[in-house]
Amino acid sequence: MEGTMTKVSIVGVAQTRFEERIASLAINELVYMVVRELLHKTGVSMKEIRSIVTASQDAWDGRTISGMTINEVVGGYLNAEAKVAADGLQALLYGAARIMSGEYTLTLVVAHCKESEGTPHAITNLMFDPFTQRHLGLDDVTAAALQARRYMRLRGLAAEDIAAVAVKNHRHAKKNPFAQRAGDFTITDVLNSPILADPIHELEAAPQSDGACALLLASESKARTVTDHPVFIIGMGNATDAYWTDRELGEAKALRQAASRAYRMAGIEYPAHEIDVAEISARYAYEELMAMEALGLSEAPQDMLARGDCEIGGRLPINPSGGPLCGNPVTVSGLVRVVEAYLQLTDQAGEHQVHGAQTALAHGAGGICGQNQSVVILRRE
């Protein structure tokens, strides 16, 4: 890493409320809402923006080249838009690279998904090996269930340990106005909710969600002209794992790798002490514990959770927004974690604010059982 690299900062964010079905808005209308709000908040005109990176998936949108749907509302006309067919956090990583190159001072990053328009089982079945796995009817949830069982066995975790994640996150979500699902559930409530695929219960899985989010990246010097409170990206890391049936499913090896890259870049040696708040893309409750471990935030995350350390006000709050369990349009997942981390570092998180947060971690994942993992570290000045 060279010392002369342009520092990248986030100068503004916007998100829609996540809902099970936003039937009144077409995808371009939904995305326009967040982009308009972002421009309004930052005072930046679309005329200044020449670089755009978006995240969406053709299979979810039911359209070949899903980026075409939102091209105009993200300011794509005659400009450099590119779409990652990956988790939204990947769009941020590429957007940051464009700014670090010195060629662009601003980059708009947008992710959207309306899960309600497609058929999740049939769509996620397309991730599976066509020769030996698709015909088994596998989908995202069934693969996650297999991973959950494996992880629980390796770590000796009980169903209650996993359910506790859902309890905490739904409680946090009560304070997040954008959350789709929230409530004071007990461990019993969680374990009594319908089983989707054993051991995963409904309240331990992200609900079907529609939504979008956007954020604006700027070079350091540009950021100074836009805001008095830029948040800097100080670490970035990504790694790809083996296909789900070719690896030890109970270990998040790629996430360890992605995290170590991000920490190295950020100069973080003791993440558990240096990170003040983390937003983790745990679309299933067990994933939060797995991720905390792989991110080096805890060696026994279930104990940390049981002690209340992961609550807002605890030693290291995890998913103060409620996380994906409380609303999670696929593809938006990792990017909205950054949006939330930004809100925390600029004291704009309202009721779910973690006081005094200086350094935040945001995590995103894509593919079956988190095959591709991304981590970013953010810091306020």
Partner 1 sequence: MPRRVAIISTGQTKHRAKRRDVNVRELITEAVTRALEEADIRMKDIDAVVIGNMEPFEGFLFPELWAVEGWGGYLKPSVKFNTGGTVGTTTAIAAYYYVASGIYDVVLAIGFEKQSEGHTQTAITTVGDPIWERAIMAGAVGNFAVMASTYIHDSGVTEEQAAKVAVKARRNACNNEYAHLQMPDITVEDVLKSRMLAYPVKLLDMCPQSDGACAVVFAEESRAKQLAPRPAWIKAVATAHEQQYMGDSPKRLAAMRSQVAASRRAYAYAGITNPRKELDVAEIYEVASFAELAMYENLGFCERGEGGKLIDAGVTEMTGELPVNPSGGVLSTNPIGATALIRVAEAALQVMGKAGKRQIDGVRTALATGYGGNAWTDVMILSRDL
Partner 2 sequence: MTKKDDETQRVQYLLDIEYHYAAGELATRFFTELKEAGRIMGMRCSGCHRVYLPPRPVCGICYKELKDWVPLSDEGIIVGCTVVHLPFIDPMTGEQRPVPYGFAIIRLDGASTSIYHFVDETDEKKLRVGQRVKAVFREPRTGSLHHDIKYFRLVGK
Residues in touch with partner 2 (CB under 8 A):
22-29, 32, 36, 45-47, 59, 62, 71-73, 75-77, 114, 116-119, 122-123, 126, 130-131, 134
Contact 99, 92 (CB under 8 A): no
Determine which helix (DSSP H) or strand (DSSP E) holds 233, and give its type and residue range.
strand 231-240
- Which CB sits closer to partner 2, 69 or 302? 69
| Stretch of residues binding partner 1 (CB under 8 A), selected from 32-40, 317-325, 331-339, 361-369 | 361-369
The window from 11-19, 65-73, 276-284, 307-315 that contacts partner 1 (CB under 8 A) reads: 65-73
85 counts as binding partner 1 under rule CB under 8 A: yes
Q: Residue 289's Cα: distance from chain center in Å?
A: 15
For strands 200-201 and 195-197, give the pairing: antiparallel
Query: Residue 72 or 381: which CB sits closer to partner 2?
Result: 72
> Which one of partner 1, partner 2, none interacts with residue 32, CB within 5 to 8 A by kind?
partner 2
Q: Which has the closest alpha carbon to 160: 188, 129, 132, 128?
A: 188
Question: What are the structure tokens assigned to 308, written together?
Answer: 């209340």
Provide, rounded to whole angstroms, the least separation between the CB of residue 130 and partner 2. 5
Task: Tell me how far CA of residue 96 lies from CA of 10, 66, 216, 220, 358, in angstroms.
Answer: 10, 22, 10, 12, 20
Determine which residue in the list 37, 48, 129, 311 makes contact with partner 1, applying CB under 8 A: 129
Which of partner 1, partner 2, none does residue 119 bind (CB under 5 to 8 Å by kind)? partner 2
Which of partner 2, partner 1, none sits in contact with 10, Cβ below 5 to 8 A by type? none
246 binds, among partner 1, partner 2, none (CB under 5 to 8 A by kind): partner 1
Contact between 314 and partner 1 per CB under 8 A:
no
Cβ neighbours, 10 Å, residue 253: 14
Helical H segments across 156-235, by residue range:
159-173, 187-192, 220-226
